[in-house]
Amino acid sequence: MQTKKFNPVYNSYLIYIGVAIASGGVALYTPIIVSETGKAFSGFWAASILFGLNLGRVLGSYMGTRLPRLANHPLAVTGNILLEGIALYFMAYLQQAWALALFALLAGLGSGLSFPGLKNYLLKLKELDQTSLFSKLAFAIRMGLVGGYLTASFVPHDQLKLVFLIVFITFIVYGLFMLIAMRAITEHEQQGWEQEQAALADQASPAPPAASTETDKAIQLPLMFYLSNSVFWCFAVQPMIGFSLHIPTFTPEIPVSTPFWLAALVIIFFQIPISKRAVRTLDHFRFLKIGYACLFLSFAIMVVFTHSAVAVIISAILLSFGQVFYGPSLDVLVARFANKSAADTGRLMSQQMFYQSMGTMVGSLAGGVLFDLAQSMKMPGLNWFMLTLASLGMMFLSNKKIPALYYNAGQRISGNS
């Protein structure tokens, strides 16, 4: 009777709404704290906040691969969400840049442990399409970001205690919504497992679990596939630092949060239609290549029109298109590989989060360093020029090399079946 009452759509939307609310909190504080720290200290110290945040995510994702229960148990996921919210709240009371980076590290640890668990619970909703799950998750994130960036335009930047109080509340709500959904999903999964065991009670067949475990250990996604994900997010995070430092210096006529909420609006309107198109073509690697192409165009525009506010907005919009094409398609590729290989989906998602966070960690620090380098050499477009060249190189690698590695790994799975 309880199984019939389970509503996968309702529980997925609990997660989406919670994520949207927390994303709003993240969008509220990030441009403000980066911009204020950059003005008070330097681009390096502003970047160190995002570096610490992403270093924490790397550590959390790594711990999630080694200790799956720490990342996947409902109470653990909720606790990790609250850890992130509490750490962020205390940042309002810190006066030193190194202390901000340290508490950003703690917040990132909570994020790195909780987000793979979130994706894992979404994938437990077997009744729903995987591509739709991830496109709606990205849509929810962007909805929250728009709200947060718009709020950041009106909240006084010197009222950090108010800003981080709002952020803390968003994470409390997020944690509660996740806990409710995860408990319902866990109960439904347990009931389904009991029914399956009862149906197989007459078949004494211990071999399949052992084969599954062996496959999980023997066949993994190729390293270059993960590294390409790292590089993409290394590039994609640049504007979070680059724009936050660039706007006050070169285009002060626009608020620092403007390109972020405009870009988020683009993703809201185009995320689901483009994801549906990806499903129809069944060629997710094509969308990964388009994602890199969007990064290339975005950076190239900043090289040519460094002092233009319009160029900043266009560049941010192109970056958003890059994430629209790239993000959900990569999630689907990882999920499909997990299904084909009978690997632990939560473990693969933690690995993906690990490499993604590695990219954003390196990219956030590099963004501040490159900005300072460009200013010291009196070449305002130098940082954008270097990103343009690097993204062009990744476009060529993503054309054939990386897809071939992924498909070869899939063929090895089929051969072992």
What is the full per-residue pLDDT of the chain (417 aa) written as tens digits? 344 578 889 999 999 999 999 999 988 888 788 778 877 787 778 878 888 888 888 888 788 777 777 777 889 999 999 999 999 999 989 888 899 999 999 999 999 889 888 888 888 888 887 767 877 887 888 788 888 887 877 777 678 888 899 999 999 999 999 999 999 998 888 876 666 666 666 555 444 444 444 444 445 777 888 888 888 888 887 767 778 788 888 888 887 777 777 777 787 788 777 766 665 555 678 888 888 999 999 999 999 998 898 998 899 889 888 888 887 778 778 777 777 776 666 677 777 777 887 888 788 788 888 888 888 888 888 989 999 999 998 888 887 788 887 778 766 665 555
**What is residue 209's predicted lDDT score, i.e. its pLDDT?**
44
Q: Give the whole-angstrom CA distance, residue 387 versus residue 383.
A: 7
Nearest C-alpha neighbor of 88 from the set 56, 65, 45, 47: 56
Q: Give the whole-angstrom CA distance, residue 167 versus residue 180.
A: 21
Under 8 Å between Cβ of 150 and 265: no
**What is residue 203's predicted lDDT score, i.e. its pLDDT?**
59
Phi-psi region of 112 (alpha: psi -120 to 50; beta: other; left: phi over 0): alpha
Q: 């994470």: which residue's tokens?
A: 171
Under 8 Å between Cβ of 92 and 161: yes
Q: Give the whole-angstrom CA distance, residue 290 versus residue 303.
A: 20
User: What is the residue type of 10?
Assistant: Y
Under 8 Å between Cβ of 172 and 110: no
**What is residue 147's predicted lDDT score, i.e. its pLDDT?**
85
- pTM more than 0.75: no
Q: Give the whole-angstrom CA distance, residue 232 versus residue 285.
A: 13
**What is residue 213's predicted lDDT score, i.e. its pLDDT?**
46
**What is residue 302's predicted lDDT score, i.e. its pLDDT?**
92
Under 8 Å between Cβ of 318 and 293: no
- 203: tokens are 């078949």
Under 8 Å between Cβ of 241 and 47: yes
Helix, strand, coil % over all residues of the chain, rounded to 5: 85, 0, 15
**What is residue 256's predicted lDDT score, i.e. its pLDDT?**
75
Dmax of the chain from CA atoms? 76
